[in-house]
Chains A and B, each alone.
Chain A
C-alpha cells in the first residue's frame, strides 16, 4: 500500500523508501564507489590447504604493467597489528594471526600477497607473476581428523587442534539418565554452508587530504572502524610514545571514556573472571605483548588515519559482513602506506573460497525418556569445525554459547548437559550465518522425531507432551532464561497441527505409497531470543549484557523533517522504512517526513553490534519509538510557547501542531525548528539507549511437506507452512519477506548447498556451478500465519531475521525421514542431495566419502 495514512503506519505493508533508488539502478553499493586517483587490489591466494611458505619472489610482479605495489605477508606484517581476540572465553585458545599469511598457509584461499595496480585486471595479471615456493604439510580436512591425536597441528602453540572445550551441566544428568526407561542416542552431522549474498565483500579505502574514508559493505560500521584502527595503527615504540606524549588530550578523553564504560558496566564486568585470558596467555604469552602494543598504537595513531567508515547500500550479508576481514585491514594499510585510495571488490570465486562458511558441526545427542515420551534428560556432545582462522571479532566459540542456552528449546527436561569442542581444520573460517546457533534446533527437533517413532508416538504428540504451555508461564528454561507469559511456542504448534490436517495427510501418504509415491510431513518448533528476556544475556556468558543496548538519536531538522540516526546497517531488511513507520506514528507526521540515517560512523551513534541477531526490529525499532516519543515532547514544549497554549492542550494531527480542537490554527514542524533556531537554542534532539525493555522471544512452528521421486531421489516441497509469533508487526510484508528468505536458505542448506572439500581439505566448490543457490523453480511457496499473543509490552516488536533458517532444516529433514520411514530410514545428516536419498533408501550403494 502507499504510505499516506498518518498515525497508522505501524502494522501496514507500507511501500519501501529504499525502493525509489534501488529499482531504477541508482543505489550506491560499494562496487559503485569511485574516488579520484583510485587504484585496485587483488590478493594472491594459496592453492594448498596447508603448507609452509618457503620463498616468495614478487620481483616480476612489481615490474608488471600497471602495478603500483606488491605486499607479501611479511611486508604487510611489518605495517599492521595482528588480530587478537578480545572476547576470551574460558577454555578458548585464539591464535594471533595477521592480515596476510606469514610463514604458513592454512587453507585454500589464504591470502599470501596483495597486489595494487591501476586496474583490477592488471592486478589479477600481476598475481600470476608472483612466484611462491611451498613445502606441503599434511592437512586436516575433517572433524574426525582434527580430533585424532596424530593429526598435523594448525596452531602448534595450542597443543592439538581442539581450540575450545567446555562442558555445561544443568541438573543431575547422570541420575536422570540412569533412571530413565529409555535412552536413545544419535549422531547428527551438518555440512559446511555459506551465506553467499548476491553482493560479495568489498571496500574502498579513500585517502583524501582531510580524512581516511573506508567505504565498505559492512553490517557493523563502528566495529569495523575500530578493528581497522587497531590493525593499521602499527608504529614503533618510540614513535608511539612520542605521539602519546604529544597528544595528552586524546589520552585524557580515552581515559574518561574508559572510565565511563567501566562504571556503566561495572556489574557485568565483575561477573567475568579472567579465566579466558589466563588460558590464552598460558598457551601464547605473545598475546599480551601484541595487545599492549596495539592498544598503545591505537591510542597514538594519527587522527587522519582513524577511518571514517561509510556503508551505502549493501547487497545482502546474512551475517558474513558483520565480520571485519583480513582483506579489509590489508587494503586499508596499503592505502595508508601508499597515500592513495585503494578499491577491493571480492570476486565470487574468492567469496566462495574464503568469504565465510558456517555450520560444519556434529552433535551426538542422547535423550532420556519415559514410556510416555516425556523427555527427562538431554545430553549432547557438540563439535564445531571453525576452519583455519577464528572469525573476527567473534565466531564459532561464542555461537556455541547460544546453542548451549537454546538446545532444550521450549521443552522441560529435568537435566541437560552439553559438551562443546571447537576444532581447527584447514578450511575457510566459520562465520555467523543467519541463526548461527540453528543446529541446536535441528538436532533436537530431529531427535524428537526419532524418539517418537521408536516409542510409537506421533511427532506432534511428543512435542505437545513436552512443551511448556501458556498455563505454565512464566518459567525458567533449565539453562537460565525466563520463558515469559508471551512465549507461545505451543500455540504455534497447535495452530500448525490444525493447518496441516495431519489426518488427511496420513491417508494421502498411505494411498501414495501404494502407487509408489513417497510423501512426508515434518514439524519443527523453536523459540529464538529476539532479543530475549532480560536474563538471557547472562545465561549466554558472564557479562554478556554489556553490549545489549541499542542507541537511537532523533533530531528535528531545520526543514521540519525528522531524522532517526542508528548504528544499525541495514542490508535488505528495510530499516529505512520500518524505523520511519515507528517514528512517524509516534510523532504524528507523514511517513515522508522521517528519514533514517545509517552507515556513516561520523553521523551515527556509537554501537558495536551493527545489524545482526534479529535486533533491528525489537531493539532499534523500539529505540526509534522511544527516541521519537521524547522528541515529540520537546517539539510540543516548544510549540506550546508558540501557540500560547498549555502543553497538555497541544496536539499533532497529520504533521500539523495545533491547540486541541483547532487544527486550522496549527503550525508546522518547520515553524518549530525555525523558532528554536531564532531563539538561539540547540536543535531539538533526543538520544536513547534502549535496553530492549522486557524483551522476549520469537517462536514458530514450521511444517514441511515433501514429495520424493523414489527413482531419482529428487525431493520437492509441495507445501510449506510457518506459524509464528513475533509480537506486533511493524510492516507485515517486510516480516514475511524475512521469513520466506530464511526458509529458502534452509531449503538450500538441506537439498542443494554444500561447501565441498575433500578429506585433505582441497576445496571443490569455487563457482556457482558447484555451490548451488536454489532458484525460483526450487523454492516452494511459503504459507505464513501470524499469531500475536496479547502483551502490554510498550514496544512489542520482536526480531524475525533469523528464524526462517532456524526452523527450516529441521522441518525439511523431518519430512524426508517421514517419507522414508517405512523403509527403516533414520536421517542423521543435514545435507540430502538426490544421491544420498537413493543411498538411504537402499536403491544404490553408498559412495565412499
Chain B
C-alpha cells in the first residue's frame, strides 16, 4: 500500500487464510468478516450483530480469537487467519472439537457455531487449566439463543478433557 497525500480508499492485502495465501485489492471500509464472506466466499463466518457483542463472527488471527466484524480487512494484512472452514481435514474429517460438538448435540440452529468452535479451539491451543466456571466465563463472549449453553459446555469440556485432561473442580485457575 502507498500512503500519499490523499490516502487510500482501496488497498491491496496479502494474508494467509486457512493456510492458503490470498492477495486481493479491497475497499478499505470492508470489514474482515465481509472480506472473508464475500470476497473469499468463506461464508462459514457469520454476522450476528456487527457491533462486537455476539461473537458469531469470531475467527483466529495469528492463533488468537478476534471479532472479524470489528476489524477492517486491511488491518489483517500480513496475518494468518483461520476460519471455521479451516478446522476439518481436507477429506472432511471433523476436528476433535467439531466431532465433540456432533457427539454431544452441541448446537441447534448452529448460526453461532463458528464463533463458539473457534473460541473453544483457542482454549485447547492455549492449554491453560480451566475450571467449569472458568469455561463458562471464557465462552461468555459468544451468544447462543437456542441451547441454553449446556450442550455447548459439554461439547467443549469433553474436547478439552480429551486434549488436556479433566477440568479443575473449582475456580482455582488464575484468571
Contacts and interface: CB of A to CB of B under 8 A. Distances in A.
Interface of A: 13, 15-16, 18-20, 22-29, 31-32, 34, 121, 196-200, 313-316, 318, 347-349, 571-574, 733-734, 737, 740-745, 767-769, 773, 775-777, 779, 781-782
B121 interface: no
24 contacts: A13-B105, A19-B101, A19-B110, A24-B88, A24-B92, A25-B84, A121-B29, A198-B109, A315-B46, A316-B108, A316-B111, A316-B146, A572-B107, A573-B108, A733-B104, A737-B146, A740-B151, A744-B148, A776-B136, A776-B139, A776-B142, A777-B136, A777-B137, A777-B140
A573 B147 CA distance: 10
Contacts, number: 173
Given A13-B105, A574-B108, A348 B147 contact: no
B94 interface: yes
B87 to A, nearest CB: 7
B133 to A, nearest CB: 8
Nearest to A731: B105
Contact of B111 (A18, A26, A29, A737): A29
B145 to A, nearest CB: 5
Contact of B102 (A23, A197, A318): A23
Interface string B17-46: 000000000010100000001000111111
Nearest to B31: A121
Contacts of B83: 25
Contact of A197 (B101, B107, B145): B145
Contact of A24 (B53, B94, B136): B94
B74 interface: no
Interface string B57-99: 0000000000000000000000000011101100010100010
A22 B113 contact: yes
Given A13-B105, A776-B136, A198 B143 contact: yes
Given A198-B109, A315-B46, 6 more contacts: A18-B110, A19-B107, A24-B44, A31-B47, A775-B136, A776-B152
A768 B53 contact: yes
Nearest to B151: A737
B98 A734 contact: no
A18 B145 CA distance: 18
Contact of A776 (B105, B113, B146, B149): B149
Given A24-B98, A348-B48, A316 B109 contact: yes
Given A23-B102, A24-B94, A348 B51 contact: yes
Contacts of A769: 51, 53
Given A572-B146, A776-B139, A15 B103 contact: yes
B43 A781 contact: no
Smallest CB-CB A-B distances: 9 pairs: A25-B44, A315-B111, A572-B109, A744-B148, A572-B108, A740-B148, A25-B84, A768-B53, A22-B110
A733 B147 CA distance: 11
Contacts of B45: 25
B148 A199 contact: no
A25 B42 contact: yes
B53 to A, nearest CB: 4
B151 to A, nearest CB: 6
Contacts of A15: 102-103, 105
A775 B119 CA distance: 14
Interface residues of B, number: 58
B160 interface: no
B28 to A, nearest CB: 11
A314 B140 contact: no
B141 to A, nearest CB: 8
Contacts of A200: 48
B144 interface: yes
A825 to B, nearest CB: 28
B117 interface: yes
Contact of B43 (A25, A572, A777): A25
B109 A775 contact: no
Main secondary structure of the interface of A (DSSP, over half): loop
B148 A572 contact: no
A749 B133 CA distance: 23
Contacts of B92: 24
Given A15-B103, A26-B44, A348 B50 contact: yes
Contacts of A121: 27, 29
B27 to A, nearest CB: 8
B87 A24 contact: yes
A31 B69 CA distance: 15
A312 to B, nearest CB: 11
Contacts of A776: 135-137, 139-140, 142, 144, 149, 152-153
A24 B18 CA distance: 13
Nearest to A748: B145
Given A25-B84, A775-B143, A733 B44 contact: no
B108 A741 contact: yes
Given A776-B149, A777-B136, A16 B102 contact: yes
Contacts of A20: 102
Contacts of B29: 121
Nearest to B116: A776
A809 to B, nearest CB: 15
Contacts of B141: 775
A349 B49 CA distance: 8
A28 B44 CA distance: 9
A22 B84 CA distance: 10
Contacts of A32: 37, 43
B150 interface: yes
A571 B94 CA distance: 23
A314 B94 CA distance: 22
Given A740-B147, A781-B150, A22 B103 contact: no
Nearest to A784: B150
B12 to A, nearest CB: 19
A123 to B, nearest CB: 14
Contact of B108 (A737, A767, A779): A737
B159 interface: no
Interface in B116-175: 117, 135-137, 139-153
Given A29-B46, A574-B108, A733-B105, A198 B144 contact: yes
Nearest to A31: B47
**Which of A18, A24, A768 has the most B CB atoms < 10 Å from its CB?**
A24
Contacts of A19: 101-102, 106-107, 110
